[in-house]
């Protein structure tokens, strides 16, 4: 799963180089990109739900990148 983490980091750096030039914009980009990288499910009422455990897992994967 480290490939997924690397792709997320690449996307974050790409966002940083292409318009996320303030802390606020960078945080917004990270949140948006993370929500795209994490598994989601559709609830019975049609709302998309992010998998919290998968989000935590990707944070561990990111810390293991070299």
Contacts 24+ apart (CB under 8 A), 37-41: 37/4, 37/7, 37/8, 37/11
Q: What's the confidence (pLDDT) of residue 29?
A: 97
Q: What's the confidence (pLDDT) of residue 3?
A: 93
pTM, 2 dp: 0.85
Q: What's the confidence (pLDDT) of residue 54?
A: 96
Q: What's the confidence (pLDDT) of residue 51?
A: 97
Q: What's the confidence (pLDDT) of residue 61?
A: 94
Q: What's the confidence (pLDDT) of residue 66?
A: 78
User: Under a CB-based contact definition with an 8 Å cutoff, are residues 58 and 33 in contact?
Assistant: no
Where the chain has pLDDT below 50, the residues are: none
């Amino acid at each position: 799963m480290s490939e997924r983490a690397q792709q997320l980091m690449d996307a974050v750096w790409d966002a940083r180089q292409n318009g996320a030039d303030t802390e606020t914009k960078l945080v917004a980009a990270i949140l948006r990109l993370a929500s795209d990288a994490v598994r989601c499910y559709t609830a019975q009422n049609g709302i998309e739900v992010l998998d919290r455990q998968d989000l935590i897992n990707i944070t561990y994967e990111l810390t293991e990148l070299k």
